[in-house]
Amino acid sequence: MHEMSLAESVRGIVEDAAHAQGAKRVKTVVLEIGELSSVEAEALRFCLDVVLRDSIADGAALEIDAVPGTGWCLACDRSVPLAQRYDACPECGAYQVRPTGGMEMHVKEIEVE
């Protein structure tokens, strides 16, 4: 389960940002997760509950914003929505679609006090 290592990385990012701001506590963590990122959001949520325990972000609300998958179809020369990496183009049916968005995962914002 790679979500555990991702959760540990998120903890490090959140703690570093909170300490840099002189925060006492993290109230909210907002993540952006692309639909093509191969990250299972609910598994990550579970892992974050575990790794944030006894940290400056213990009990923080977690918000996950899904970023839709998009791709560029080489056959019809247009940007198209993409539900999975190797799907056919929804416009022309070709399989020459290069993913262009929805592959990312990052900490979008944290709210501290």
Domains of the chain (ranges plus CATH)? 2-112 (3.30.2320.80)
HSE-up (13 A, CA, CB side) for residue 71: 23
Average the pLDDT over 15-34 and give the result: 97
Q: How far is CA 54 from the centre of its chain?
A: 23
pTM (2 d.p.): 0.87
User: For 92-102, how does the pLDDT look when each residue is reduced to its tens digit (9 = 90+)?
Assistant: 999 999 999 99
Look at residue 57 in the predicted model and tell me its pLDDT.
97
Q: Is the distance from CB of 28 to CB of 110 less than 8 angstroms?
A: yes
